[in-house]
């Protein structure tokens, strides 16, 4: 390998170096502002290095990674989201009575796993990236468990639930990968092309369904969603923000690459299962969200529906001609990241390690106490609902376009109905913010870093809702 071959790996190496640096710095002296600065600085360098490689020609594939413009684009997004979570967490952990620095170390290690997933072209790199991401998330989800201020043991409970079910899903993926290797003699994604599609299809179907079930758990698709509301509610808000954004986006990046570069959906039973997962996720996610009064649980069930929306474009990627499906998934993932991080950023800004402000009643009258924050939060919710002039609307437009190109009419009908249901429970939150402030309203905490993140995300939401061409031109240049 020459020095030139390392250039596409520079963002990955930068995140790795940042993780090592932060680990050593914690060992020498605990200084949270310095560790936060090192974390943000390392992620910023990694993101800028990846941005510098866009759009650019695609480099030669390595045995385990393909750091092409597609991977570099999502590396930029992952690093930007990780910076946002770091800054949002700064406000959340301000009064934490235990060591705070390791949360940032875990965040860096999780980001390292996500970047590996962005460039994975082999099942070995897929599993390495997935486990690096997942094992770091276990610690992030349970982080306040040693705090005397923590009101209950929900953080530990959420981490244990995620750990056990995540281990089961990984075992399913491993079993499926073993069957793929037995059939093809290869562990690369390209080896999936060697799976028999005619007589003797049984093992191929079992292998792909096992892998699909494991991936469906990571994406909390119905009926593999059972962990999602409890984990979202019990975990600290910054960790939930990371799980809801980077934790899911990284897996979707790999899924899209596999579907586009192989013919896995050409096996009829697999395509049917994917369609059922999308349909059931949209319906169940939106209907269950109607029954919730906890904001985190609403966002949890909402995320199930949004993963179903994205799966429509994944299915369309096999059937549609041209790159419209890849563009639809890429744009919607970008919009989903902005919307979700912004929503959890507001929750983090109002919460602390001692008290999660995740009940809808906690937000009553917020328009009269913090109008700018309430306006930004409203923008996030309306974008999640797909209201025009927001990035969420443009994202859903491209999803519909991809579905129309592929003739996925039943799934598109579910998307339209699901979006209508979603509008109701999002507006319920907005309505509570507009009500008069109650006498026992919780005190709103100050946090310049977290508020700045939410404000920037809100501006991006409006910018790409009004003028999506700038982002779409870049996505078209890096499409698979």
Q: Are 196 and 204 in contact (CB under 8 A)?
A: yes
Output the pLDDT for position 44.
Answer: 94
CA angle 274-401-343, nearest 5°? 75
Q: Which structure tokens are listed for 399? A: 């999803």
Output the pLDDT for position 443.
Answer: 65
What residue spans of 320-370 are helical by DSSP H?
324-350, 366-369
Total number of domains constituting the chain = 1
DSSP letters along 360-416, please? Answer: GGGGTTHHHH-HHHHHHHHHHHHHHHT-TTSHHHHHHHHHHHHHHHHT-HHHHHHHH
- DSSP H/E element including 208: helix 202-218
Output the pLDDT for position 196.
Answer: 64
Q: Which residue has the tokens 């060992």?
A: 27
Question: What is the pTM (predicted TM-score) of this model?
Answer: 0.91
Structural domain range at position 154: 3-478
DSSP letter assigned to residue 112: H
Q: Can you list the residues of the chain whose pLDDT is less than 70? A: 1-5, 56-61, 95-98, 145-153, 196-201, 263-267, 320-322, 352-355, 439-447, 480
Is the sign of the CA dihedral 29, 32, 38, 43 positive or negative?
positive
Q: How far apart are CA 339 and CA 404, in angstroms?
A: 25
Neighbours of 22 (CB within 10 A): 23
Output the pLDDT for position 459.
Answer: 92
Output the pLDDT for position 46.
Answer: 92
Output the pLDDT for position 336.
Answer: 93
Q: Under DSSP, is residue 227 helix (H, G, I), strand (E, B) or coil?
A: coil
Output the pLDDT for position 21.
Answer: 92
Q: How far apart are CA 228 and CA 209, in angstroms?
A: 21
Backbone angles phi, psi at 122, to 5 degrees: -150, 145
Output the pLDDT for position 18.
Answer: 92
Q: How far apart are CA 154 and CA 18, in angstroms?
A: 31
């Amino acid at each position: 390998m020459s020095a030139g071959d390392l250039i596409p790996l520079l963002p990955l190496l930068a995140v790795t170096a940042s993780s090592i640096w932060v680990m050593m710095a914690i060992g020498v002296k605990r200084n949270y502002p310095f560790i936060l600065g090192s974390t943000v600085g390392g992620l910023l360098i990694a993101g800028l290095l990846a941005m510098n490689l866009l759009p650019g020609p695609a480099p030669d594939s390595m045995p385990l990674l393909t750091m092409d413009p597609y991977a570099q684009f999502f590396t930029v997004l992952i690093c930007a989201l990780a910076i946002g979570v770091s800054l949002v967490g700064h406000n959340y952990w301000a009064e934490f009575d235990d060591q705070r620095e390791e949360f940032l170390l875990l965040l860096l290690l999780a980001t390292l796993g996500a970047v590996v997933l962005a460039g994975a072209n082999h099942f070995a790199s897929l599993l390495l990236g997935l486990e690096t991401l997942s094992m770091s998330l276990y610690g992030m989800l349970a982080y306040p468990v040693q705090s005397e201020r923590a009101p209950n043991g929900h953080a530990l409970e959420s981490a244990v639930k995620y750990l056990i079910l995540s281990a089961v899903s990984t075992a399913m993926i491993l079993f499926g990968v073993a069957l793929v290797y037995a059939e093809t003699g290869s562990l690369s994604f390209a080896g999936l092309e060697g799976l028999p599609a005619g007589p003797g299809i049984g093992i191929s179907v079992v292998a792909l369904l096992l892998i699909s079930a494991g991936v469906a758990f990571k994406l909390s698709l119905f009926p593999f969603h059972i962990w999602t509301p409890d984990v979202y509610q019990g975990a600290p808000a910054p960790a939930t923000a990371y799980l809801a954004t980077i934790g899911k986006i990284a897996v979707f990046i790999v899924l899209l690459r596999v579907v586009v570069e192989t013919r896995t959906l050409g096996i009829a039973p697999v395509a049917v299962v994917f369609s059922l997962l999308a349909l059931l996720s949209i319906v169940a996610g939106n209907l269950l969200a109607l029954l919730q009064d906890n904001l985190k649980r609403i966002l949890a069930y909402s995320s199930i529906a949004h993963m179903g929306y994205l799966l429509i474009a994944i299915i369309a990627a096999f059937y549609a001609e041209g790159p419209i499906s890849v563009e639809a998934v890429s744009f919607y993932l970008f919009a989903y990241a902005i919307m979700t991080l912004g929503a959890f950023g507001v929750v983090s800004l109002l919460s602390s390690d001692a008290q999660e402000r995740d009940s809808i009643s906690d937000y009553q009258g917020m328009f009269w106490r913090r109008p700018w924050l309430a306006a930004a939060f409203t923008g996030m919710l309306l974008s999640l609902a797909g209201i025009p002039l927001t990035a969420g609307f443009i994202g859903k437009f491209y999803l519909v376009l991809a579905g129309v190109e592929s003739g996925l009419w039943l799934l598109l009908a579910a998307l339209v109905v699901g979006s209508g249901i979603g509008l109701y429970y999002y507006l319920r939150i907005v309505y509570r913010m507009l009500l008069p402030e109650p006498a026992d309203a919780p005190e709103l905490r100050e946090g310049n870093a977290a508020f700045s993140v939410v404000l920037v995300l809100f501006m991006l939401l409006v910018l790409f809702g009004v003028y999506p061409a700038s982002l779409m031109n870049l996505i078209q240049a890096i499409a698979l």
